[in-house]
Amino acid sequence: MAFVVVEDGENIEAALKRFKRRVQQESIIKEIKKHSVYIKPGEKRRMKEAQARKRMRRRLRRERRNNYY
C-alpha cells in the first residue's frame, strides 16, 4: 500500500503530488482495473496472443530500422 509522510510545513499539494507518483510507480491503479472485470480464459488467451504479435512486430520494425544504418 502506498503512503506518504507529510513533513512539518510541507505544502499539501506537494505531498499529494508525491503520493500520486508513488501510486503510479507501484502500479496500484493498473492492478485495480485488472481485477475489477472478469475476463474469460479464452479472451485472456486471445489478448495475450495479440500482445505477443504486437511485440514481435515492434521488434521486427526496430531490427529493420537498425539494419539500414
Give the tens place of pLDDT for each residue, 12-64. Answer: 999 999 999 999 988 888 888 888 999 999 999 999 999 999 999 999 999 98
Domain ranges of the chain: 9-37, 39-69
CA 38 to chain centre: 19
| Dihedral (CA of 9, 11, 14, 16) sign | positive
The pLDDT assigned to 69 comes to 61
State if pTM tops 0.75: no
